[in-house]
Amino acid sequence: MTIQRTFSIIKPDAVKRNLEGKILSFLQEAKFNIVALKKMQFSKELAEKFYEVHKERPFYNDLCAFMSSGPVVSSVLEKENAILDYRTIMGATNPKDANCGTIRNLYAISIDENSVHGSDSEENARIEMNLIFAQSEILP
Ligand code: CMP
């Protein structure tokens, strides 16, 4: 398996509860190498663009309002099999279904306030990281 990169967001609900340090440490212990990192706030427009694939879903407006409601921590994570491995340690989208010991099992409040986002494919990882980071902000 080759080294892969994935894109991660620690969402407003987790940053509001000062969980970003704990979650980044969890990621490092799971052998993810952080190759880009920034604390930032999404504008409503950026959230709408980021989640454009969900435009037709009933939760789209609430999702965009929530994602732009406070600071987040965005990062690019590198390891072998990064995309699938990150989705495994995040746990299911709805924390009620998340396996024990996953990030969402430990920290998420609800399906909306579910603490973290992770890309679901190599193509989306590339699109998402390039939307949030300039090339110069990502380690080569
Ligand atoms: P995320 O992985 O960031 O991708 C889209 C987000 O929409 C998802 O996490 C959830 O927080 C949110 N969401 C709200 N309702 C739903 C739903 N019914 N199905 C999927 N995602 C949902």
Per-residue confidence (pLDDT) for residue 16, from 0 to 100? 98
Counting from 1 in the atom list of ligand 1, the atom nearest the Cα of 67 is 3
Cβ pair 72, 11 in contact under 8 A: yes
- What's the average model confidence in pLDDT over 41-67? 98
**According to the model, what pLDDT value does residue 90 have?**
98
What pLDDT score does 105 carry?
98
117 catalytic? Reply is yes
- Cβ atoms of 3 and 79 within 8 Å: the answer is yes
Residue nearest atom 14 in ligand 1 by C-alpha distance: 112
Mind listing the domains of the chain with CATH numbers?
3-132 (3.30.70.141)
- In this predicted structure, what is the pLDDT of residue 38? 98
Q: Name, in order, each residue with C-beta under 8 angstroms of 94's C-beta and a sequence gap of 6 or more.
A: 110, 111, 114
Is this model's pTM higher than 0.85 or not?
yes
- Cα–Cα dist 12/24, whole Å: 15
